[in-house]
Amino acid sequence: MRTDVPRRCAVTGIGLVTPVGTGLEKAWGNIVAGRGGVGPVTCFDASGLKTRIAAEVKDFDPLDYMDRKTDKRLATFIKYAVAASRMAVADAGLEITNDLAPLCACSMGCGLGGLKMMEDSHSVIMEGRADRISPFFIPMMIGNMSAGQVAIELGLTGPNYLCATACAAGTHAIGLGFELVRDHGMEAAVCGGTESVITPLAIAGFNAIKALSTRNDDPGRASRPFDRDRDGFVVGEGAGILVLEEWSRAKARGARIYAEILGYGASCDAFHITAPRDDGGGAALSMAAALRDASARGIRPSDIGYINAHGTSTDLNDQMETLAVKTVFGDLATGIPVSSTKSMTGHLLGAAGGVEAAFTALAIRDGILPPTVNLENPDPACDLDYVPNVARKKALRAAMSNSFGFGGTNGSVILGAPDAW
């Protein structure tokens, strides 16, 4: 069903499972304090790999969010999605009634899905034990089971989607949820991203394309977006989920509103399977599309007071994103604070956009810009204000969160302070 008049969309709940903490306040507190979650790989023996560091989730107990039987049937990335979604719905105080369930959508982003299950099951096959493959292998592997299981656990019978758009997936999932609420009659959406692929094959694969940092002797300083000495990203894991609600409904029930979703844009570089356009053209198209979408609410480029960058700590990404911001914002660009929380969380791949949109909403709530840590020797080609090393107080009326993925897929979302627009 499409409504004639676009509606407003509130962020009323946030759930986080991250390398810097599980739970909204713990994760956000560490981000504001500049405390990172990168360390030596502990979930398997990484001694034979070029990269032996990652940003692992350390404080997660699935039994806090599901029973033991369910836990045994789910891959880790699905568990993260379920847990973060339960947190977000509880945080929103949202009751999924029989009347609301068909009007509550679920959209998840995920890049590589159950890669660990695939690796483990392939080993079983190679040992000649095909009859020992788990009947849960396929459901544990396919990415859409993150959205499917969240719907099962929460009783959501509205539209159910997976965005498998690499590192832009979480942002695309939030953009889809926003459009379903604003334009297509949904009353609420549970949306964001999830990922857990700290595995031998994933790290070896990213090593093969020279994408990862090999700063194994100094993991805390390995993720260093916009720094001259960056040498690649650090793989992270976790989930970031938002509850979006139709504005008047949220207001009527007295919900606490973190932020309003004001605009969403997406684009494709149509350039290369892994490398971004070096002029930042595809990323610029995405940001410009989000600004156009938000212009219906009166948003102008000068209203954007902060950008949570994709900021991966790779040479090409950080330079092209800097160029893209300059292309879109022109003379305003040098006055807009830009930071990369990946400097602390590592790169959560398909979950990145969900986690970073949550951090952007919290920046709006608290009037605090998270820092880019490890920014010690700025790259001369990266010459914007990256909020180096220490968080900064700043009241925000609107902010943008960017995500860009392999295949040239891009997504940008604009959030605003409640009642500011």
Q: Is 347 a catalytic residue?
A: yes
Whole-number Cα distances in Å, 283 to 278, 287, 293, 294, 349: 10, 6, 16, 17, 17
Residue of 9, 172, 310, 382 marked active site: 310
The letter for the amino acid at 140 is M
Residues 6+ apart with CB under 8 A from 263: 290, 291, 292, 293, 294, 295, 297, 299, 413, 414
Residue of 104, 110, 163, 167 marked active site: 167
Of 239, 245, 277, whose CA–CA distance to 260 is shortest?
Answer: 245
Q: Is 310 a catalytic residue?
A: yes
For residues 157 and 139, what is the distance between their CA atoms, to the nearest angstrom?
19
Q: DSSP E strands: which ranges in 202-258?
A: 238-246
Residue of 104, 191, 347, 382 marked active site: 347
Phi-psi map region of 104: left, alpha, beta (phi>0 left; psi -120 to 50 alpha): beta
Task: With H, G, I as helix, E, B as strand and everything else as coil, classify residue 399.
Answer: strand
Q: Vertex 311, ends 306 and 315: CA angle to 5°? A: 140
Task: With H, G, I as helix, E, B as strand and everything else as coil, classify residue 288.
Answer: helix
The single-letter DSSP state of residue 4 is S
Query: What six digits make up the tokens of 121?
Result: 């099951």
Q: Is 172 a catalytic residue?
A: no
Most distant CA pair in the chain, distance: 64
Of 242, 291, 285, whose CA–CA distance to 398 is shortest?
Answer: 291
Q: How many CB atoms lie within 10 A of CB 146?
A: 33
DSSP 28-58: HHHHHHT----EE--SS--TTSS--EEB---
Catalytic annotation, residues: 167, 310, 347
